[in-house]
Structure 1
Amino acid sequence: MMTAFARTIILYFLIMIGLRLMGKRQIGELEPSELVLTMMISDLATVPMQDFGIPLLAGVIPILTLLSLSMLMSQLSLWNLRFRELVCGTPAVLIRHGVIQQQTMRENRYTLDELLEELRSQGVSCVEDVKYAILENSGQLSVLPWSRQQPPTAAQLHLEVEDDVTLPTVLINDGRILHKNLAACGHDRAWLETQLHQQLLSSPKEVFLLTLDEQGRVSCVKKEHHP
């Protein structure tokens, strides 16, 4: 029992580290090579988890080999453009100037139903309203409508708009003080205690979320007390 537990924990963290090295991507955003790697690693990990007669290294070594190969291919893709195109492919323009590129769709085995579904999901009902529709390497469809189909911006309307978009920094997360973020904002524990006092709070444990934006504004969300 303990052997199964230990083997599972080791393989779990090994796979988590490997996927973390691949970057922060969702399954639908994986390149073909990354998706194949993920599927192969999952298959390799299940065998030593279930069959105790197989040495743990028989699963660990292939997984480490695949991860090393993936990192090598990623590095080669950064160095060589042709290798990147070979491994990852190139984006394909399915709609150009409101006209469906039928040959390109056939080459990518992309059906008309799939194209119309993707357009509808992005709020586009008419092909002529699209200037470019690009099938990305991840399989997602990027839709770029004509300028006349897009909402006007403040710059196009010649309006002077104050840029009040700020990036808040989390200082307290579910009752826990993030000291690194607090120091990065140029404040200390005494300043934080003052902010809590202004919110009529006596302890950080009473705070669910507390943030500080670039304008110096503090936002506090108190914890809910359930009966």
Structure 2
Amino acid sequence: MLVVVVRTLILYVVVIIALRLMGKREIGQLQPFELVVILMISELAAVPSENVGVPLLSGIIPILVLLAASLTFAYASLKSEKARDIICGRPSILIDRGKILEKELRKNCYNISDLLEELRLNNIPNIADVEFAILENNGQISVFPKSNKRPAIPEDFNISPPYEGLPLPIIMDGKLKTDYLKQREKDLNWLKSELKKYDIDRIEDVLLASLDSSGNLYVQPKTRR
């Protein structure tokens, strides 16, 4: 039993390292060749972990080969547009200037129901409001509504809103992030003074405190037990 546990942990670490080297992407954002590699890696790792009679290297070596192949394809697609088209394919325009392209739907095995569902997921219930819809290589659809149907933005009204930076978590789960505090040009005395406005005397009692670029502090205290 101990042998099985050790072999499984070794394969687990190898698979985690392989996936990390492939990059950080969600499953829905994977290119086809990346998805194939992940499926094959999972199968190759399962066999040695289930069967002690199979040498551990019989699982590790194929995984490393697949990782090398994946990184090679990724590098080739990065450096060559032609290789990228061959390996990853090209996006397909399903709706062009408000008109559904039936040929592209058939080519991609996409039916009208699938198209309407994707539009609803993009918060567009009426297909008549769509100017362009593009099926990306990862299977997701990018939707561009008609100009008179898109949401209004401040630029439409000649408004220039103030800059909004990224809020920084000053305190997370009772632990102070001093680097973020200094980045906002604040000190510990200022923070304690602000926390007292929320009847909080200790940093350890704060679940989350974030500070935006305008100096506004958001504080969520821990639930008292």
Q: TM-score, normalised by structure 1?
A: 0.88
Whether 2:168 is the aligned partner of 1:181: answer no
Residue type matched to 2:118 in 1? E
Partner-residue secondary structure (3-state), 2:131? strand
Partner-residue secondary structure (3-state), 1:148? coil
Q: Which residue of 2 aligns with 1:215?
A: 214
Contact 1:99/1:127, CA 8 A, preserved across alignment: no
Q: 1:155 to 1:206 in 2, by over 3 A?
A: same
How far off its partner does 1:52 sit?
A: 1.4
How far off its partner does 1:185 sit?
A: 4.1
Distance 1:58 1:188 in 2: 56
Residue type matched to 1:173 in 2? M
Aligned-CA RMSD value: 2.2
Q: Which residue of 2 aligns with 1:45?
A: 45
Q: Which residue of 1 aligns with 2:171?
A: 172
Partner-residue secondary structure (3-state), 2:24? coil
Q: Which residue of 1 aligns with 2:36?
A: 36
Query: Unmatched 5+ residue regions in structure 2?
Result: none
Q: 1:181 to 1:11 in 2, by over 3 A?
A: farther
Matches within 5 A, 1:65-214: 65-158=65-158, 160-186=159-185, 192-197=191-196, 199-214=198-213
Residue type matched to 1:116 in 2? L
Partner-residue secondary structure (3-state), 2:35? helix
Q: How many residues align?
A: 225
Distance 1:185 1:49 in 2: 50
Distance 1:67 1:122 in 2: 34
Q: Which residue of 2 aligns with 1:19?
A: 19
Residue type matched to 2:10 in 1? I
Partner-residue secondary structure (3-state), 1:147? coil
Partner-residue secondary structure (3-state), 2:155? coil
Contact 1:93/1:104, CA 8 A, preserved across alignment: yes
Partner-residue secondary structure (3-state), 1:155? helix
Q: 1:187-211 CA distances to partner (integer Å, 9 max, x unpaired)?
A: 5656555554554434332111111
Q: 1:85-119 CA distances to partner (integer Å, 9 max, x unpaired)?
A: 10011100011011111111111111122112212
Distance 2:41 2:16 in 1: 11
How far off its partner does 1:6 sit?
A: 2.1
Distance 2:168 2:152 in 1: 31
Residue type matched to 1:168 in 2? P
Distance 2:53 2:196 in 1: 61
Contact 2:164/2:213, CA 8 A, preserved across alignment: no
Distance 1:32 1:127 in 2: 28
Identity of aligned residues (%): 40
Partner-residue secondary structure (3-state), 1:134? strand
Partner-residue secondary structure (3-state), 1:171? strand
How far off its partner does 1:12 sit?
A: 1.9
Distance 1:22 1:173 in 2: 30
Residues 196-205 or 36-45, more deviating: 196-205
Partner-residue secondary structure (3-state), 1:37? helix
How far off its partner does 1:51 sit?
A: 1.1
Distance 1:167 1:136 in 2: 29
Q: 1:155-188 CA distances to partner (integer Å, 9 max, x unpaired)?
A: 2123x34325331111221122334434544556
Q: Which residue of 1 aligns with 2:62?
A: 62
